[in-house]
Amino acid sequence: MKNSSRRFLMSLVAGIALAPLAYAHHSGAMFDMQKELTLQGTVKDFQYTNPHSWLIVLVKDKSGAEVEWSFETEGPSTLLQAGIKRSSLQPGDKITVKTHPMKDGRPAGTWNIVTKSDGTTLTPRSAVPGAAAPLPPSAT
């Protein structure tokens, strides 16, 4: 706990010092790093792949219609360092996702923190020592 807190703090400092989100394979310019949404939904697919993994989640909008959201995260070797295995999420799992959404309003964003129905949290970027963490969310 102590180590992870220190790592988070230093990642935060690095993130502030050098603002861009440090995705290794592509720019993070498409994400709105000043905005964080919290969404609840059902896992449709966990693409445990390189260069990035994607979590596909069905989220009900205000009208009750299901919208397919895509959340991007790191590749398997980084996820494993964060304790996230391919089996950590299964289709049908009820989850809550914190995300920095796309600037263009399409239903996608970063995977910041996933909380499962049993309270387990999955934080991929907690284990990226060489990369900056996302900027802290705004107050909204």
Partner 1 sequence: MRKRSYAIGSCGALAAAVYAIATGAAFADIIDTADPSNPHTTVYATSWDEFQALKAKANGGTKMSWSTLPDWTGLWTRAEGSGLKFDASQKSMEETTAVPSPAYQKKLTKKIADFKKGVEWDQLSFCLPAGYPRWLAEPFLKEFVLRPEESWLINEQLEEIRRVYTDGRGHIPEDEAYPLWEGDSVGFWNGDTLVLHTNNLKKGQFQRLQPDYSEKITTVEQWRKVGPDMIEDVVDVYDPEALAKPWHVVQRYQRVKTPNLRIAYWSCEENNNVTRGADGNTQFLLPGDKGYKDPNTLQDSLSQGAIPDAKK
How far apart are CB 95 and partner 1 at their closest, in Å?
18
Q: State in angstroms the smallest separation of the CB of 99 from partner 1.
A: 13
Mind giving me the DSSP string for the chain?
-HHHHHHHHHHHHHHHHS-S---SSS--TTB-TT--EEEEEEEEEEE--SS-EEEEEEEE-TTS-EEEEEEEE--HHHHHHTT--GGGS-TT-EEEEEE-BBTT--SEEE--EEEETTS-EE-GGGG-TTSPPPPPP---
Nearer to partner 1, 77 or 90 (CB): 77
Query: Is residue 35 close enough to count as binding partner 1 by CB under 8 A?
Result: no
Lay out the sheet containing 121-122: strands in order across.
108-110, 66-73, 53-60, 37-47, 94-99, 113-116, 121-122
| Smallest gap from residue 56 Cβ to partner 1 (A) | 7
Which one, 5 or 118, has the nearer CB to partner 1?
5
Contact positions with partner 1 (CB under 8 A) in 2-21: 6-7, 10-11, 13-15, 17-20
Pattern 54-93, partner 1, x by CB under 8 A: x-x-----------x-x-x--xxxx-xx------------
Residues that bind partner 1 (CB under 8 A): 6-7, 10-11, 13-15, 17-20, 22, 24-27, 29-30, 45, 47, 49-54, 56, 68, 70, 72, 75-78, 80-81, 102-104, 106-108, 127-132
